Structure 1
Amino acid sequence: MKYLIVGLGNIGPEYANTRHNIGFNIADTLVKELGGSFSNLRLAYYSEVSWKGRKLHVIKPTTFMNLSGRAVNYWMHELNIPLENVLVIVDDLAIPFGKLRLKLKGSSAGHNGLKSIEASCGGQNYPRLRFGVGDNFPKGRQIDYVLGHFDKEEQPELPALLDKSVALIQSFVTVGPGLTMTAFNQ
């Protein structure tokens, strides 16, 4: 079986390690842990790694967040991977920092990367790993918050949360979404 794992984020050093780029960070951790590396290919940084007999095609779109759907659509069709085997990793303001949620479908909840994927890939019926970044920002400062770095209190927790996110992905591709949601959704 093969899967497309999509870490959402924005390219460029000014976005590195921001809340909005947690998808890139999780993709990097997954690929590093499985002994792979990324190549800059069409519309994305691309890596191919294996886990317990499953082939994981991991991308980090280079289209910027608001056009992520272009890259996801291209790689889904290029690799002939069905939508239910696409796992999108995304930051989520509606979930407290450090909480993980696997969902099999759902709305974009205002997230521009997810909106783009819905528009390009035919709807909301694709799995996503929602990484909680919290909503600790003043009214009207949402963009500054998601494009900002994790707080000093949050940073020490990130390595363990990245590892837990990788474990969730590995569970998703081996035991499936149902058991993974039972084990990881909090």
Structure 2
Amino acid sequence: MAGLRLIVGLGNPGPDYAQTRHNAGFWFVDALALEQGATWSAQGKLFGSTAQLTIDGEKIILFKPSTFMNESGKAVRAALQFYKIEPAEMLVAHDELDIEAGDVRLKFDGGHGGQNGLRDIIKVLGGDGKFHRLRIGIGHPGHKDRVVGHVLSRPNSTETSAMLDAVIEARRVLPLAIAGKFSDAMTALHTRK
């Protein structure tokens, strides 16, 4: 299987959303950019911002859509087309209700699980929508009526610390995923202490 060339972080634009649980995908790509001192550049025709970096000798494009979460698909499609990247060479980092804060999982393909950014990407890409996901746990508030308030609010300090630890763990296995060794990356991530 081909390795990764594009890593997309999902979130909502603007300072009001920056620290919310729903922006966990942005947290991940921002951490990668910060680690290497990569700078973000607005790309109007792609409906987002990009940064480029090198991990284990491989050039990787980071991408943050500037659209709101539920319109992520057009930005992702524009980036894939512009850089001539196949969906299978893309990793989409996003918040995941069904995983506890502090846990993180890799997955290939599947449904959207109610995540509106994934829902739109899958809809826009259609049958070509087979891509990798990095599911960053934010925990479930316990009742479906509380989900919107939960994802659009800031986690408490304990949850924030746990989520940042999860981002660090995901970064640790990223070279395996970039090299196309997804099974090894999943094993390393899912069996960590």
CA RMSD of aligned residues (A): 1.6
* Equivalence for 1:94: 98
CA distance in 1, matches of 2:126, 2:161: 38
**Structure 1 position 151 matched with structure 2 position 156:** yes
Query: 1:176 pairs with 181, 184, 193, which one?
Result: 181
TM-score for the superposition, normalised by structure 1: 0.93
Which secondary structure does the structure 1 equivalent of 2:99 belong to? Answer: coil
Unaligned runs of 5+ in 1: none
Shift of 1:164: 1.5
Aligned 8 A contact 2:39 2:51 in 1: yes
CA distance in 1, matches of 2:124, 2:169: 29
* Equivalence for 2:118: 114
Shift of 1:138: 4.3
**Structure 1 position 84 matched with structure 2 position 88:** yes
Unaligned runs of 5+ in 2: none
CA spacing shift, 1:152–1:138, aligned 2, 3 Å = farther
Partner amino acid, structure 2, of 1:86: M
Which secondary structure does the structure 1 equivalent of 2:100 belong to? Answer: coil
Query: 2:64 pairs with 60, 65, 72, which one?
Result: 60
**Structure 1 position 160 matched with structure 2 position 165:** yes
**Percent identity for Structure 1 against Structure 2:** 35
Partner amino acid, structure 2, of 1:70: K
TM-score for the superposition, normalised by structure 2: 0.90
**4+ runs deviating over 6 angstroms:** none
Cα deviations by residue, 1:65-101 (Å, 9 ceiling, x for unpaired):
0011111100101001111111000101011111111
Superposed, which structure 2 residues align to 1:23-62 within 5 Å? Answer: 23-42=25-44, 43-62=47-66
Count matched residues.
186
Shift of 1:44: 0.7
